[in-house]
Chain A
């Protein structure tokens, strides 16, 4: 977990009254740093382009369109995750339902779901995390009628970032699973 990410979350709590959808254990960790960082967060607010960032991230999940490609026309190829999370957001589910619908119509297509993590974790753990994310996407596609033998899963851990920056926005773009045509 990164301090600036915590800061960012604290921001949102303070300013927009949003509750970060993290699991209970994480919340307790965040709460301990909250009181100390609130004033800092308020200070940074003046200089930080917070409104611009807010349009790109919800919590710390990327919601922008930069780097997003298409599996097919009108079907986004990727979904994004919160730090250390494998939970699919509402937007991610919508994207995956579109992918599933398209795959049902194109039953000869097989895909590889590539799972990725950001650089803020140990290499081996991130390989496992990428695999978990890819499987979260795969499971959802299966729920919407795509058979498992059409979906391969491949974790790259943190080895293939799309954004080479070392900042919360770059990291949010890298925490992703990407559905790629395999044939």
Chain B
């Protein structure tokens, strides 16, 4: 991994809107069947900027590309409907200065986004400054905006930061666009699958492969407190163990000193502890390791299989699955291992519980009558809601704002073992807006990062 993968944003300036009250608002707590019409004007740039960007990035029209990132992000939420750019009546540069609101109301746009890209040279290095404004067309007012300067190659992240700002402003929820997804890239026949760790932007761009595929790797997960760190399981030297990787330096280390297979790792919300399973002598228990003191402790003590642990966002509880009742079911305990309580009582088998970052729900995989479901339930097990059903799917992971669940789905093979594929999918908590997440290869075990830091 190159050190400059995570670039520093400079000169982050908030443009003061003329009024801080927005007339346009979206309720995202239910399935939205009436998306808000929005116009994203291409960001404009002068000739000098165009030439510099062509030289640096080999992109003809960066302003247009940035507007497409924003459009794509917002449309994928299902909450917005981007109006075709051909319908726009006003030129990007004039619209950015002061839109003629009638022109945008005429094409039924409720919200308008405009912007400007300028190339800059600081200390003999190339930078770009990107300015954006969010306009309420009906209220005829600017409602938000900012300007930031960054290295040319992190231009996509600017598009994501703008998308986050727009989303936050219009829904009242925090955004999730300036994020990454770590997953397992898969290739080859089912019996000899090659698996690599892969990292990409939330929208499928900038894919980087972290391992080469020479050993089996599974279940990567972001540290929620540090987006430059992940944990995963590797079969390096045929010793299946949990590792922590620094994505910036590429350094990795095995976690703990266990005699036996360690697997199913997850960080605590503050990133200071790691919970995982240790399988030894035919029994799997849940362990916690304090990454600062290196003290490790066994949390469960039962002859059944106890695995797939996940912390509550306040760090006080752990949910996990166990087959102590005869079949895999979901349990909750205090983070010291006390007060174990079963919470899933519906028909079928329940596994892979993952606590929502908002704290109120647990996402899970359920197997019932030969079908796999991704669902959510309250943390006491009530209010079970199944979001999606298929032949095989599992491994839910929450978007950082807790509105979307990403998971993977495998298709069934035919009698000859053909037709197999594994892909990432996302679905809104509402159960609407199920979407294929684009990946370069087949993919599984997704984990969503927190909003990226600088």
Contact code string B168-181 (vs A, CB < 8 Å = 1, else 0): 00000000000000
Select one of B261, B308, B326 contacting A131, CB under 8 A: B261
Evaluate contact between A1 and B367: CB separation under 8 angstroms.
Answer: yes
Judged by a CB distance under 8 angstroms, whether A4 is at the interface is yes
Judged by a CB distance under 8 angstroms, whether B399 is at the interface is no
Evaluate contact between B307 and A128: CB separation under 8 angstroms.
Answer: yes
Of the stretches B57-65, B69-77, B143-151, B187-195, the one at the interface is B187-195
Judged by a CB distance under 8 angstroms, whether A23 is at the interface is yes
Known A-B contacts A3-B370, A124-B308; A155 and B349 likewise in contact (beta carbons under 8 Å): no
- Give B18 Cβ to nearest chain A Cβ, in Å: 53
Interface centre among B189, B192, B305, B420 (most CB of A within 10 A): B305
- Give A151 Cβ to nearest chain B Cβ, in Å: 12
Contact code string B27-40 (vs A, CB < 8 Å = 1, else 0): 00000000000000
Pair count A-B, CB < 8 A: 121
B218: A residues at CB distance < 8 A: 123, 127, 159
Residue of B nearest to A119 (CB): B392
Residue of A nearest to B445 (CB): A123
- Give B193 Cβ to nearest chain A Cβ, in Å: 7
Bound-state Cα–Cα, A65 to B279, Å: 30
Evaluate contact between B189 and A164: CB separation under 8 angstroms.
Answer: yes
Evaluate contact between A124 and B417: CB separation under 8 angstroms.
Answer: no
Judged by a CB distance under 8 angstroms, whether B142 is at the interface is no
Judged by a CB distance under 8 angstroms, whether B327 is at the interface is yes
Judged by a CB distance under 8 angstroms, whether B277 is at the interface is yes
- Give B302 Cβ to nearest chain A Cβ, in Å: 12
Bound-state Cα–Cα, A122 to B395, Å: 8
Select one of B190, B264, B392 contacting A127, CB under 8 A: B264
Evaluate contact between A2 and B282: CB separation under 8 angstroms.
Answer: no
Judged by a CB distance under 8 angstroms, whether A132 is at the interface is yes
Evaluate contact between B305 and A125: CB separation under 8 angstroms.
Answer: yes
B327: A residues at CB distance < 8 A: 25-26, 29, 84
A162: B residues at CB distance < 8 A: 191
Bound-state Cα–Cα, A156 to B325, Å: 24
User: In chain B between 178 and 212, which residues have their CB closer than 8 angstroms to a CB of chain A?
Assistant: 189-193
Known A-B contacts A127-B263, A127-B279, A131-B279; A122 and B351 likewise in contact (beta carbons under 8 Å): yes
Known A-B contacts A25-B326, A155-B261, A166-B413; A123 and B219 likewise in contact (beta carbons under 8 Å): yes
Judged by a CB distance under 8 angstroms, whether A129 is at the interface is yes
Select one of A23, A119, A124 contacting B263, CB under 8 A: A124
Evaluate contact between B193 and A122: CB separation under 8 angstroms.
Answer: no
Evaluate contact between B219 and A124: CB separation under 8 angstroms.
Answer: yes
Bound-state Cα–Cα, A123 to B326, Å: 18
B216: A residues at CB distance < 8 A: 156, 159
- Give A25 Cβ to nearest chain B Cβ, in Å: 3
- Give A32 Cβ to nearest chain B Cβ, in Å: 9
Evaluate contact between A160 and B191: CB separation under 8 angstroms.
Answer: yes
Select one of B263, B282, B349 contacting A132, CB under 8 A: B282
Evaluate contact between A123 and B305: CB separation under 8 angstroms.
Answer: no
Judged by a CB distance under 8 angstroms, whether B415 is at the interface is yes
What are 19 contact pairs spanning A and B, CB under 8 A? A2-B370, A120-B367, A122-B321, A122-B367, A122-B395, A123-B394, A123-B395, A124-B307, A127-B279, A134-B282, A155-B261, A159-B216, A160-B191, A162-B191, A163-B191, A164-B191, A165-B417, A166-B420, A167-B415
Q: Which residues of B contact A (CB under 8 A)?
A: 189-193, 216, 218-219, 238, 240, 261, 263-264, 277, 279, 281-284, 305, 307-308, 321, 323, 325-328, 349, 351-352, 365, 367, 369-370, 391-392, 394-395, 410, 412-417, 420, 445
Closest 3 CB pairs of A and B: A135-B282, A164-B417, A25-B326
